[in-house]
Amino acid sequence: MTTQTTAPETPSTPAGTAPRGLVGIPENIGRALATGGGVLAVISTFLAWTWTAEFPGNLTVYGYPGGLQVLVLVGGALTALFGLASYGVKGLRWLTPAGADSALKLAALGTFATAWYTVVAISVKLGGLVNLEPGGWIVAVVTLAGVLGALALPFEHPAPEPHDPDDAGWEQFRHTLRTKATVIKAAFTTGSLSPARALPSYAEILVVVAALAVGLTVFTYGIGTEYDELFIGFLITAGFGFAAVAKAGLVQRISAITAKHRTITMTGAFVAAAAFPFTQSDDQYATIGVYILIFATVALGLNIVVGLAGLLDLGYVAFLGVGAYTAAMVSGSPSSPFDIHLPFWLSALLGAAVAMVFGVIIGAPTLRLRGDYLAIVTLGFGEIFRIAVLNMDGTSGPDITNGSNGISSIPNLNILGFDFGQEHTFAGFTIARFANYFLLMLLITLVVVIVFRRSSDSRIGRAWVAIREDETAALAMGINGFRVKLIAFALGACLAGLAGTVQAHVTYTVTPEQYQFAHVVPPNSAFLLAAVVLGGMGTILGPLVGAALLYLIPAKLQFLGDYQLFAFGLALVLLMRFRPEGLIPNKRRKLEFHEEAEAPTVLSKAGV
């Protein structure tokens, strides 16, 4: 008996009709509206949006965008860029390997949201729409037209091939492969998926440099926002902009290039981060920068435990406290019970070693547990540490930590005659105390990144991943699960203790309440775990980005008062809903959460 198999066909629109999206506008008109709206939004930023300078940012100047106008300009330029790419403009297709339509929708929506937020903010702050100048009305109209045009673009996906629901096994597997092949064929036919062109090595290096420059610019702009309205606008623009670039496939393409040139990328990232203090006119934002680095370094250490080994540790911040208290006790502080003043390199090694010892002591009896049981035990350890240092005040226990008063008056570091508490001038640039500690913490972050990278690529790193994926199968393959997990626990504790030695000198004082599970100000165990999960488990850049966002956003949302945690929690819920794998996930976790969407891309690489 011969069975005739017909090739699957991609869905098509009825004859004589144009494909339509969410609104009843033909696709060609919608595309023109979206692209034109982006161009006109850029032009409108050179007009005055209000007549008075009472609204922050001085939006009264013609010919010079300021404040929120700059963000609308960026969003409009991105919208116009994706709009031109959707027309197949030569030279822009490289920027949209996964297609430009979805990216165009997100970019237009972000520009609309930022522009209308600005218009509403002007009206509320100044007392009505009468305070708008022609530029404000123009940007409201053109961004509305742009987003309506973008929503007119069709949402078309290849339909799966009909099959017998009773089929199973090999027939079901063949059906899946045919369906995915149809998706790939349709994507290449419509231009929504374009094969990556091989660039010369020098061009790829220039791409890496450009990506790092953009990252430094965005971070510097976000951390230096001077007023609340500007920071909210920055969040809107950055969020939609990143989503648009990711939807276009550009993030994945740049990630592949940076992975190819990992050494150059790490060196460039270090240089870009080191340039941050020199972009600031004072020490105000370097303060936030050094705390972000401390937070990020500890999160990267936790990523070894959670991201690679799959061990849920809810008391990790205690190891940061162990390192901080150890360094504070041997720093020469007058409130320290020990009359010792060790050089920093020795106190840093001592803090890391003591934290590692605590990691082994805590991990040895508890790492035979799994899942929720391990989480409960580590949570208990975090609370035991805080209560123990609180009681070591000479009354409830031995006089070691001064109880609730902590160890204060920790002196500034002095390494080879370089006083970190004083201002220093380099090549005409003056950097103050927090900038000095920022550069020191950057060196420690580099060490932690190298340790993480070397560990994850080693045999022990592969054993961690095997334990995380399926501990029973890993044990059956001969992996010593207890030893492997204990190494991860000890190494993560060591890195946290190393960061704690710097934190003690930056904050001048270490107290027990700094190391609670859910302290108001990060780092704490809850925020550290959130940074790893939201940034991207098992990656280097993910926890760094996640920690930066989780520290920066609460610091900038203080004007919301009692609603701060509500807004922050809502943002986390939305992020987990639409990007559960994290902002910068590894390929494995991305496939776990988006198996159907990612499989065609993986198959296309094999076929190209």
Q: What pLDDT digit, counting tens, does each position of 54-97 carry?
A: 898 889 889 899 889 999 999 999 999 999 998 888 778 888 88
Which H, E and C letters describe 458-494, residue by residue? Answer: CHHHHHHHHHHHCHHHHHHCCCCHHHHHHHHHHHHHH
pLDDT at 12: 42
Q: Is 267 exposed, middle or buried (0-12, 13-18, 19+ CB in 10 A)?
A: middle
> In the predicted model, what is the mean pLDDT of residues 507-535?
80
pTM of the prediction? Answer: 0.78
Q: Is residue 89 part of a domain?
A: yes
- Which one of 179, 195, 211 terminates a domain? 195
Q: Is residue 595 part of a domain?
A: no
CA distance 298 to 304: 10
Both tokens of residue 366? 């508890």
My answer on whether 507 and 472 are in the same domain is yes
**Coil, helix or strand at residue 456:** helix
Residue listed under structure tokens 């017998």: 164
Q: Taking the mean position of all CA atoms in its chain, how far away is CA 69? A: 25
My answer on whether 352 and 492 are in the same domain is yes
My answer on whether 333 and 228 are in the same domain is no
pLDDT at 286: 83
Helix (H) or strand (E) holding 552, with range, is helix 541-556
CA distance 586 to 354: 32
CA distance 366 to 372: 12
Whose CA is closest to 245, among 233, 253, 235? 253
Q: For the chain, what percent of residues have pLDDT higher than 70?
A: 84
Query: Which of 108-122, 211-225, 511-525: highest mean pLDDT?
Result: 108-122
Q: Report residue 414: phi and psi, to 5°.
A: -140, 105
My answer on whether 428 and 514 are in the same domain is yes
Regarding predicted confidence, which is higher, 223 or 585?
A: 223
Q: Is residue 125 part of a domain?
A: yes
Print the domain residue range for 181: 161-195
CA distance 193 to 152: 20
pLDDT at 70: 94
Q: Is residue 260 part of a domain?
A: no
Choose the weakest-confidence range: 104-118, 270-284, 480-494. 270-284
Residue listed under structure tokens 């197949």: 88
**Coil, helix or strand at residue 507:** helix
My answer on whether 419 and 457 are in the same domain is yes
Contact 456, 300 (CB under 8 A): no
CA distance 456 to 216: 26
My answer on whether 145 and 176 are in the same domain is no
203-241 pLDDT, tens digit each: 888 888 898 899 888 888 888 888 888 999 999 999 899
> In the predicted model, what is the mean pLDDT of residues 167-176?
47
**Coil, helix or strand at residue 415:** strand
Query: Residue 593 — pLDDT band, cuts 50, 70, 90?
Result: low
Query: Which of 92-106, 184-198, 573-587: highest mean pLDDT?
Result: 92-106
Q: Is residue 454 part of a domain?
A: yes
Regarding predicted confidence, which is higher, 598 or 312?
A: 312
Whose CA is closest to 230, among 373, 122, 317, 108? 122
Whose CA is closest to 348, among 472, 278, 440, 460? 440
> In the predicted model, what is the mean pLDDT of residues 256-270?
86
- Which one of 486, 513, 541 terminates a domain? 541
- Span between the terminal Cα atoms of the chain, in Å: 35
My answer on whether 453 and 359 are in the same domain is yes
My answer on whether 499 and 407 are in the same domain is yes
446-485 b/e (C-beta count within 10 Å ≥ 16 → b) = bebbebbeebbeeebbebbbbbbeebeebeeeebebeebb
My answer on whether 107 and 94 are in the same domain is yes
My answer on whether 182 and 234 are in the same domain is no
Q: Is residue 608 part of a domain?
A: no
Contact 185, 242 (CB under 8 A): no
Regarding predicted confidence, which is higher, 5 or 232?
A: 232
Q: For the chain, what percent of residues have pLDDT higher than 90?
A: 23
> How many other CB atoms sit within 10 Å of the CB of residue 134?
11
Question: Which residues touch 411 (CB under 8 Å, ≥6 apart)?
Answer: 331, 332, 333, 505
Q: Is 313 exposed, middle or buried (0-12, 13-18, 19+ CB in 10 A)?
A: buried
Residue listed under structure tokens 């108001």: 520
My answer on whether 208 and 134 are in the same domain is yes
Choose the weakest-confidence range: 3-12, 24-33, 128-137. 3-12
Helical segments of 248-369, H only: 250-260, 262-274, 284-303, 317-329, 344-366
HSE of 404 in the Cβ direction (CA atoms, 13 Å)?
A: 2
**Coil, helix or strand at residue 527:** helix
My answer on whether 118 and 170 are in the same domain is no
Query: Residue 595 — pLDDT band, cuts 50, 70, 90?
Result: low
CA distance 29 to 150: 10
pLDDT at 168: 43
Q: Is residue 266 part of a domain?
A: no
> In the predicted model, what is the mean pLDDT of residues 385-406?
85
pLDDT at 164: 43
CA distance 459 to 462: 5
123-166 pLDDT, tens digit each: 999 888 889 999 999 999 999 999 999 988 875 543 444 444 44
Choose the weakest-confidence range: 11-20, 441-450, 477-486. 11-20
Q: Is the pLDDT of residue 169 over 60?
A: no
Helix (H) or strand (E) holding 424, with range, is strand 424-426
Q: Is the pLDDT of residue 171 over 70?
A: no
pLDDT at 193: 46
Q: Is residue 276 part of a domain?
A: no
Amino acid found at 241: G
Report how many domains make up the chain: 3
Contact 413, 506 (CB under 8 A): no
Strands 429-431, 418-419: pairing kind: unpaired
Contact 21, 154 (CB under 8 A): yes
Both tokens of residue 226? 């001077």
> In the predicted model, what is the mean pLDDT of residues 359-375?
84
CA distance 140 to 49: 10
Q: Report residue 430: phi and psi, to 5°.
A: -105, 125
